[in-house]
Amino acid sequence: MKFNKKIFNWSAWITLLIAYVLPYQSQSADGHSTYLGYPLSFLTVNNSPIYKTLFMTEIIDIFTLILDILIVYFVLYFANVYFSKLKSKKNIYFISYY
């Protein structure tokens, strides 16, 4: 398996965007935190007073973020391999027909 930088870049962007688009896990038991990220939650947003900035209320779990990026990378990579084979097979049938 060859590492594809373009697919890795896409998977990183998709993982970050999915955290804000897809539904998130509900708040923690104490009601002060919200967990974002898919398939694993890597971003925790704590409820805090207005005078605190957004960067002071967020916690990013780097290991889980990297794991999410790798999961999306493998899904995109194998989908790309599958569709490439399907496309080449379709071209072979088209050429052999004529």
Containing structural domain, residue 21:
5-97
Q: In what order do the strands lie in the sheet with 58-60?
A: 33-36, 43-46, 58-60
Contact 43, 55 (CB under 8 A): no
Q: Point out the least confidently predicted range of 13-22, 69-78, 87-96.
A: 87-96
pLDDT band at 69 (very low <50, low <70, confident <90, very high): very high
Predicted TM-score (pTM) of the model is 0.74
Using DSSP's 3-state secondary structure scheme, residue 30 falls into: coil
Please provide the average confidence, as pLDDT, over all residues in the chain: 79
Give the span between the Cα atoms of 74 and 81, in whole angstroms.
10
Classify burial at 37, counting beta carbons within 10 Å of its beta carbon; exposed 0-12, middle 13-18, buried 19 or more: buried
Q: What is the count of structural domains for the chain?
A: 1
Q: Over the stretch 34-48, which tens digit does the pLDDT of each residue have?
A: 788 888 888 887 776
Using DSSP bridges, classify how beta strands 33-36 and 43-46 pair: parallel, antiparallel or unpaired.
antiparallel
